[in-house]
A and B are shown apart, each in its own frame.
Chain A
Amino acid sequence: DSGVTQTPKHLITATGQRVTLRCSPRSGDLSVYWYQQSLDQGLQFLIQYYNGEERAKGNILERFSAQQFPDLHSELNLSSLELGDSALYFCASSVVGGGGTDTQYFGPGTRLTVL
Chain B
Amino acid sequence: GENVEQHPSTLSVQEGDSAVIKCTYSDSASNYFPWYKQELGKGPQLIIDIRSNVGEKKDQRIAVTLNKTAKHFSLHITETQPEDSAVYFCAALKGTYKYIFGTGTRLKVLA
Chain A residues near B (Cβ < 8 Å): 2, 4, 33, 35, 40-45, 48, 55-56, 58, 90, 92, 97-100, 103-109
Contacts and interface: CB of A to CB of B under 8 A. Distances in A.
Contacts of A103: 34, 46, 49
Nearest to B46: A103
Q: Tell me if A's interface is mostly helix, strand, loop or mixed.
A: loop
B3 to A, nearest CB: 11
B31 A41 contact: no
Interface stretch (B58-66, B71-79, B88-96): B88-96
B55 to A, nearest CB: 16
Q: Tell me if B's interface is mostly helix, strand, loop or mixed.
A: strand
A43 B100 CA distance: 8
Given A42-B103, A99-B32, A109 B97 contact: no
B45 interface: yes
Nearest to B32: A100
Task: Classify chain B's interface size.
Answer: 20 to 34
A108 B42 contact: yes
Interface in B28-82: 31-32, 34, 36, 41-46, 49, 51
A90 B41 contact: no
A90 B100 CA distance: 15
Given A97-B97, A99-B97, A106-B45, 17 more contacts: A2-B43, A42-B89, A42-B101, A43-B91, A45-B101, A48-B97, A56-B97, A56-B98, A58-B98, A98-B97, A99-B32, A99-B98, A100-B31, A100-B49, A103-B49, A107-B43, A108-B42
Among B43, B45, B93, B95: residue with most chain A CB under 10 A: B43
Contacts of B45: 2, 106
A43 B44 contact: yes
